[in-house]
């Protein structure tokens, strides 16, 4: 099963996606996602110039050896560009192995630990009532877990809130330069408890509620928020604070029982090893595309399971349907799977490019038994949507200081 060709595609059906196709001499090919929002072309050139030439002629079945070769062989290991490139190759090799075996990837991991994957959907509104109305719609669609985000009065834009945009693609897809967005922790604290107290009053205690702080708070502010929201029994508070200093989560953990989730920006187990083994978090949000693929996420899931940490893979609009497909196989297998973020199966343009076999019903996702990852990529359709440089926003405090977006 020798690797004959590696192609890298960048398309922009509303937002940029980087797709890798590994083709073997037998004609079996695999797909991987290498999308790094705002830095896509760095990964494209990394793959084309530095990774692909080394892999031609290698045995596509040697997934682990190729992973180790790309991880240790670069010398300058870790980091978002390295690991997105390794991730895409890795996903493609698992896809190939599944197709060659005639089995879905989850069977190669160890089979099903459940029949379906629980999803959490996004409710974001211009104010508390608008967010709660959107929450009600999602509950009616059968979702059992919902992430609530609401605009912050006094700030002209807030993370996760669409504003006048019709969807995340329009919100994030066309930023020729980084927009600058304001942040005020005080204004945020003035509104956040109302969001969840009114949500529990309106919907009761059965629905799981989640919230993404998006790294905006210091550890002690996160501790204060966790305590403040304890009466509302969140499933988890995500990215309460940046954890480049993993010890900082000891401050949060000391003060609150609100479960904590983190990890969507992590590239290796080293970014979260201390958080996990010191049981400072409850959910690990690492994404296959950002953290080195299926091989890496399987290892991280096993490590996390030793410390009662569950997986809750990132599922934002800037991860391609190929990454979502990879997560589905990991999620249906992982004994310590917690929940999967879900922002829909894409827009009409992306659906014309990425043909997936996942079924979503009543807030649950069902992986197909198609061999490999169970997804196809239409190269011709992708050509209709060429790459457009686009950036993530930059956050500034009201005094102008750059902050965590």
95 interacts with, out of ligand CS2, Mg ion, none, CB within 5 to 8 A per kind: none
Contact stretch for Mg ion (CB under 5 A) within 113-121, 205-213, 215-223, 371-379: 205-213
- State the Cα–Cα distance between residues 132 and 363, nearest whole angstrom: 17
Among the listed residues 9, 46, 159, 283, the single catalytic one is 159
Residue with Cβ nearer ligand CS2 (356 or 395): 395
CB 315, min distance to ligand CS2, A: 7
Residue 188 a catalytic site member: no
341 interacts with, out of Mg ion, ligand CS2, none, CB within 5 to 8 A per kind: ligand CS2
| Of residues 362, 288, 372, the one with CA closest to residue 331 | 288
Q: Of 245-264, which residues contact Mg ion (CB under 5 A)? A: 264
- State the Cα–Cα distance between residues 58 and 279, nearest whole angstrom: 40
**Binds Mg ion (CB under 5 A): choice among 212, 221, 271, 282:** 212
CB 138, min distance to Mg ion, A: 18
Cβ contact 309:283 at 8 Å: yes
**Count of other CB atoms within 10 angstroms of residue 155:** 17
Residue 214 a catalytic site member: yes
- State the Cα–Cα distance between residues 131 and 119, nearest whole angstrom: 18
Among the listed residues 208, 211, 214, 329, the single catalytic one is 214
Residue with Cβ nearer ligand CS2 (203 or 405): 405
CB 314, min distance to Mg ion, A: 7
90 interacts with, out of Mg ion, ligand CS2, none, CB within 5 to 8 A per kind: none
Question: What is the binding site for ligand CS2 (CB under 6 A)?
Answer: 37, 212, 214, 264, 314, 316, 318, 341, 392
Exposed (0-12), middle (13-18) or buried (19+): which is 164, by Cβ within 10 Å? exposed
Report how far apart, in Å, the C-alpha atoms of 262 and of each of 170, 212, 252, 315 are: 26, 9, 13, 13
Residue with Cβ nearer Mg ion (33 or 264): 264
37 interacts with, out of Mg ion, ligand CS2, none, CB within 5 to 8 A per kind: ligand CS2
CB 214, min distance to Mg ion, A: 6
Residue with Cβ nearer ligand CS2 (95 or 239): 239
- State the Cα–Cα distance between residues 291 and 263, nearest whole angstrom: 9
282 interacts with, out of ligand CS2, Mg ion, none, CB within 5 to 8 A per kind: none
Residue with Cβ nearer ligand CS2 (7 or 404): 404
User: Which residues 6+ apart lie within 8 Å of 367 measured at CB?
Assistant: 104, 106, 117, 328, 329, 332, 357, 358, 374
228 interacts with, out of Mg ion, ligand CS2, none, CB within 5 to 8 A per kind: none
Residue with Cβ nearer Mg ion (212 or 282): 212
CB 3, min distance to ligand CS2, A: 30
Task: Kindly state the number of chain residues that form the binding site for Mg ion, as judged by CB under 5 A.
Answer: 2
Angle at 122 between CA 382 and CA 190, to 5 degrees: 135
Cβ contact 211:147 at 8 Å: yes
Q: Which residues bind Mg ion (CB under 5 A)?
A: 212, 264
Which residues carry out catalysis?
A: 159, 214
């Amino acid at each position: 099963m020798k690797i004959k060709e590696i192609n890298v595609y960048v398309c922009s059906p509303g937002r940029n996606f980087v797709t890798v196709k590994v083709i073997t001499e037998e004609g079996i090919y695999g797909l991987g996602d290498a999308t790094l929002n705002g830095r896509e072309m760095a990964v494209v050139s990394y793959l084309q110039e530095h990774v692909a030439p080394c892999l031609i002629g290698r045995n596509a079945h040697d997934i682990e050896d190729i992973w180790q070769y790309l991880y240790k062989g670069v010398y300058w290991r870790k980091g978002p560009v390295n690991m997105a490139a390794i991730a895409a190759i890795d996903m493609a090799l698992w896809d190939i192995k599944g197709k060659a075996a005639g089995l879905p990837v989850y069977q190669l991991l160890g089979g099903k630990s459940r029949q379906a994957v629980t999803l959490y959907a996004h409710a974001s509104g211009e104010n508390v009532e608008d967010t709660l109305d959107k929450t009600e719609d999602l509950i009616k669609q059968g979702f059992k877990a919902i992430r609530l985000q609401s605009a912050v009065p006094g700030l002209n834009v807030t993370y996760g809130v669409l504003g006048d945009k019709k969807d995340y693609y329009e919100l994030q897809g066309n930023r020729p330069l980084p927009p600058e967005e304001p942040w005020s922790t005080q204004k945020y604290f003035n509104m956040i408890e109302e969001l969840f107290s009114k949500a529990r009053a309106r919907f009761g205690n059965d629905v799981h509620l989640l919230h993404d702080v998006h790294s905006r708070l210091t550890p002690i502010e996160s501790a204060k928020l966790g305590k403040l929201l304890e009466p509302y029994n969140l499933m988890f508070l995500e990215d309460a604070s940046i954890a480049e200093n993993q010890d900082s989560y000891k401050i949060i953990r000391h003060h609150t029982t609100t479960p904590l989730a983190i990890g969507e920006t992590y590239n290796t187990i080293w970014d979260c090893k201390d958080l996990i083994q010191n049981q400072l978090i409850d959910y690990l949000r690492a994404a296959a595309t950002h953290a080195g693929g299926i091989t890496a996420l399987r290892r991280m899931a096993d490590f996390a399971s030793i410390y009662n940490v569950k997986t809750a893979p990132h599922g934002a609009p800037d991860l391609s349907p190929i990454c979502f497909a990879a997560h589905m196989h990991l999620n249906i297998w992982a004994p310590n799977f917690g929940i999967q973020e879900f922002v829909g199966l894409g827009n009409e343009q992306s659906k014309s490019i990425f043909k997936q076999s996942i079924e979503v019903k009543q807030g649950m996702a069902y992986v197909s038994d198609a061999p490999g990852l169970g997804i196809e990529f239409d190269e011709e359709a992708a050509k209709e949507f060429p790459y457009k440089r686009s950036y993530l926003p930059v956050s500034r405090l009201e005094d102008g200081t750059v902050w965590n977006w």
